[in-house]
Structure 1
Amino acid sequence: MNWSQSKELLVRLIPAEVEAYLRGTGWVLFDSRPGKVSYWERVEVDSGEEYTAVCVLDRSVRDYATRTAELLNLLGRIEQRTPDDIYRSVRDVGCDVTELQIERADARDGTIPLKDGARAFDGALRLYAAAAAAVKDRRPYFGKLLTGGASRFVSRNARLGQTKVGSYVITISTRVAQVQEELPFEVQVESEPFERQVMLRLASALSVAREAAIKNTAQAFFDGVAHGVSANLCDAVTGMAEGAPFTQLNVALHWSPIRPVERSVPRQLSFGPELVSNLREGSAHLRFQEPLSNFQLVGKVVRLERWPDEPSGTIGIDGFVDSETELVSVTLKEEEYSVATEAHGIGAPVVCIGELKRNVRGYVLLGAHSFGVIGNGMSKGVVAQRTKTEEPA
């Protein structure tokens, strides 16, 4: 960044943000003139070298941009980072920031095909929604994910930043603290805001999902559910990796320095093609485990099975599951089976409610009830949808 051409950007930086960044990265305040200027010092542990920094606190003074640029350049030299990175870190000092870097051979100029880009952004949204849903509820599969607290979080709390060059990088920030807060460096878990809880769950779930993908066993994915791993999270990662020629997905987690996290919390994770493929298999394993209660199935009867002299029978309904047409097996009592037989004969759509579960053979609707033919005393506008007794908070 050429600071001489970025005076407007520098003036936008709030002095409280600059001071919060200094405090959070190990600088110590040793003198100040309230409302005018503050003086900071830092000693490098490895080299023993001492540094002094000056932070101007009045944005109306003529040389505010110049003095702030000098400070940011000093920080860049010490941290061995670019001016752009330092500027963003100071500006977002109260935020946790995630960088999702999609490496692929055709993205070296910082662009990717529009269709793949749309899929990547959708994957990023679903990744955050899966983490938000898993804060208070651990499930192998959340079904209709963008509802309740997960939907509110991705709509209001997670903010999309500017993309970065480096193959193709999606940045997402989540504010976890205000710069006016003077927080202790040891923050109790109970005091963490929901936004930070989501980020910690995201870090944990991605780390455990990666380990499960390395082991590549169904049990490893099942064990990961307790840490926030879900089919939705696995699908989100694989969705961002769709499209050839994908080489790697890198996840960088930058934690707000004014609300520090433990050193054990992940900061860098990578998923290559083999791990992505294994995550896809893991998603299938997890989907088998989670039944969906109060599932309303709408479709046409395409199969009838009943043993002689048996009052009940099993039908196959070609209906919608997650916007895809699937064959669902349903067991019905004698009277309902007769209605299903008539509906099959005339090709009429039917509706019923029960607990949807997937097994190795496909889908089955357990405890089916409220069976009927659409148009026979029912609205023809019924649409297949999932409803649950509980939504993620």
Structure 2
Amino acid sequence: MKRWGLALVLLLWASAAWGWQVHGFIDGRSGMRLQDDAVERRAILNELRLQLDLNHMSDLAIWQFRADLVGDEAAGETDQDLERGHGVLDLREANVLLTPFYFLDVKLGRQILTWGTGDLLFINDLFPKDWQSFFIGRDVEYLKAPSDAAMFSFYPSWANIDVIYVPRFDADRYISGERISYWNPMLGRRAGSGDDMAVDQRTEWLREDEWHLRISRNVEGVEWAAYAYDGYWKSPQGVDVVYRSYFPKLRVFGASVRGSIAGGVVNLETGYYDSREDRRGDDAMVPNSEMRVLVGYEREIVRNFSAALQYYLEYMQDYSAYRRTLPEGMAARDEDRHVLTLRLTRQLLNQNLELSLFSYWSPSDRDSYLRPHVKYKASDAVSLYLGANLFFGDVPHTFFGQFEDNTNVYAGVRYSF
């Protein structure tokens, strides 16, 4: 920890000397479970985080570096791992943006990538997510994990075209038990920090890679986009012959549209998930192909009070083959998984106080997840946070129901500079 701290201090001094812009924050957060969890400790978050955000603009390029120095007493993993987000250093961005031609931008290096129209629901956004951070009380910005990628943005007259190449597969920072318990179908129970999750990682450069494509255009205020992805399921949803989890091959083709209607903003997004290793749906150890659909609407109800609704559907292909080959005793998924979300946001005290609630409810899974959150801006530099992650479910094997024992509250303070 001291070595990383000294390195960041030297980097800060050198950056200022070379004319870089320096920003950042110090963020302290603590979170506790509201109930006992048989396979995890009570503390879920006890961290102090220093972020440095450095950027430099020249006639030839824009350079970006952003890294966090983290100390977390509640962490289940301490070994440094930049891909999983473990250890004292979390490298968020380290990239350069070049414009070799007027119609082309090229961004190379570690970067945070996002697209699609969903609000905390993702169909065509196949960039890595950090679900552990999302569920324990870190700022929502940490849901997005970094990608090591090359992004090429073309600007012909008829559309914008983004092509992203990831030379080595970037998985989600998925739930694996070191801090959050989850349902393990192979064990038939909730698993936690004492259960090793054997995962066959895809780590071969240039062979286990990913391609992302987006073609978008704005037509009279309406945003249209088409997407394609070639890579792998982002979490280890397959099981091999020696009962190790792994990342099966995946292709996705999708589209979206977003525009204004009835005083608000409406969005529609869809995607077909082509599970390349189980196109007939008869391999119980590999996810079936799926069709996914998302519809959303957001508007301001009254001044400083907004509401947003979303409906999300996962429709499994070849469901009869899935049920026929499901191992005896393993809980079956529904053919259709429905999720409804509601976001309510209220701003008070000259917008210095923000009250928000984001809720997920799945009538098919009979489970739900609530994210109440309060942010108070005490000054230009200091912000205070209070929130909770509340999970409910009738059975322990549904997506939100499996996390019921991880229900927690958290508080935090941030000083920005």
Same fold (TM over 0.5): no
- What's the TM-score once normalised by structure 2's chain length? 0.23
**Structure with a larger share of its residues in helix:** 1
Structure number with bigger Rg? 1
- TM-score, normalising length: structure 1: 0.24
- Report which of the two has the higher share of strand: 2
